[in-house]
Amino acid sequence: MTLTPEQLADIAAERAETRTTLRATAPGMEAHLYTAYPVLDHGLVRVIDYMGDDNAITQAARVSYGRGTKAVSDDRGLIRYLMRHWHSTPFEMCEIKLHVKLPVFVARQWIRHRTANVNEYSARYSILDREFYIPAPEQLAAQSKVNNQGRGQLLEGAEAARVLDLLREDAMRAYDHYEDMLTPDETTGKMGLARELARMNLPANVYTQWYWKVDLHNLFHFLRLRADAHAQYEIRVYAEEICKIVKDWVPLAYSAFEDYRLGAVGLSASGVAVLKRRLAGETVTQETSGMSKGEWREFTAEWG
């Protein structure tokens, strides 16, 4: 990630100015506000604004007049109870607004999370920067043999070098053509193509930016799916960076989320039945389990 001196000065100015407020603030989040955290080669995540803290969750759950806190241990117990029993609306009382810079192919996955508010950088109005995601060598891998939606063995040597060359060359050539199409030339009468059309030849690894606002319940849903080991690496690294921020913002809620969602394992009714049979001493195989091969593979990966 490279920020211009002007962008760095804007962030420093935001962080230098303090304001007084009657509203609740979260000290852990104040430490993160406005700071740009690098993700991938040119991407970033930074918090622009937020509302609420752990207390806002318990306050809403109790519908109390004041802060309503009896003790931190009570709040912790209540938040864990709410998370455990999918009582989700109190978590919607907290919100976060992020500035994210990300490759377009990652944005396509991200935008599927519809329960957020988004405003994207306009490539009709502005010219996109010459910034493309080029994977680090340790991310260049072949198609997985066991997972149709994943990568497997690392590419090596000449093949890895050739892939990187192709990615760089294609990106640079496309951007050169983009610039060429945009640029008017009075000497030849060339008018230059409109930005909204010239952008269409840019590849999916070009970077875009947006502001993304979401409540904590839906953010947890996003993080559950995208910080998971099955999510594509290029979106997972953003989710992992956001996890660190959320942990400092709402430590009690994040700890409950880690326990009941992120680190939890789902168990189907047939899975429960197999576990009970095993605990009773029976040897259960895929054939006698009532599960498909895929289900059995996932079940035994968790339970042995």
Say whether residue 146 binds ligand FAD (CB under 6 A): no
Span from 11-19, 39-47, 189-197, 218-226 in contact with ligand FAD (CB under 6 A): 218-226
Say whether residue 199 binds ligand FAD (CB under 6 A): no
Say whether residue 239 binds ligand FAD (CB under 6 A): no
How far apart are the C-alpha atoms of 289 and 293, rounded to whole Å?
A: 10
The CA–CA distances, whole Å, from 152 to 169, 272, 300 equal 25, 31, 21
Instruction: Answer yes or no: are the C-beta atoms of 30 and 229 closer than 8 Å.
Output: no
Span from 43-51, 99-107, 112-120, 188-196 in contact with ligand FAD (CB under 6 A): 112-120
How many C-beta atoms surround the C-beta of residue 193 within 10 A?
16
Nearer to ligand FAD, 19 or 112 (CB): 112
Say whether residue 224 binds ligand FAD (CB under 6 A): no
Structure tokens that stand for 229 in this block: 């080991």
Structure tokens that stand for 260 in this block: 């009941």
DSSP state, 90?
G
CB of 214 to ligand FAD, least distance (A): 8
CB of 147 to ligand FAD, least distance (A): 10
Binding mask 270-289 for ligand FAD (x = CB under 6 A): --------------------
216 is in an annotated binding site: yes
How many C-beta atoms surround the C-beta of residue 92 within 10 A?
17
Cα atoms found within 13 Å of the Cα of residue 231, Cβ hemisphere only: 19
99 is in an annotated binding site: no
Nearer to ligand FAD, 95 or 131 (CB): 95
Identify the active-site residue in 62, 67, 173, 226.
226
Say whether residue 221 binds ligand FAD (CB under 6 A): yes
Identify whether 19 is a catalytic site residue.
no
Say whether residue 113 binds ligand FAD (CB under 6 A): yes
Instruction: Answer yes or no: are the C-beta atoms of 37 and 246 closer than 8 Å.
Output: no
Task: Tell me whether strands 151-154 and 43-51 are parallel, antiparallel or unpaired.
Answer: unpaired
**Which residue from 279, 262, 189, 176 is spatially nearest to 219, judged by alpha carbons?**
262
**Which residue from 211, 240, 6, 235 is spatially nearest to 133, judged by alpha carbons?**
235
35 is in an annotated binding site: no
215 is in an annotated binding site: yes
Structure tokens that stand for 272 in this block: 């429960």
Nearer to ligand FAD, 78 or 90 (CB): 90
Q: What residue numbers does the annotated binding site for dUMP cover?
A: 109-112, 120-124, 199, 226
Q: Which residues bind ligand FAD (CB under 6 A)?
A: 112-115, 218, 221, 225, 230-231
Active site residues: 226
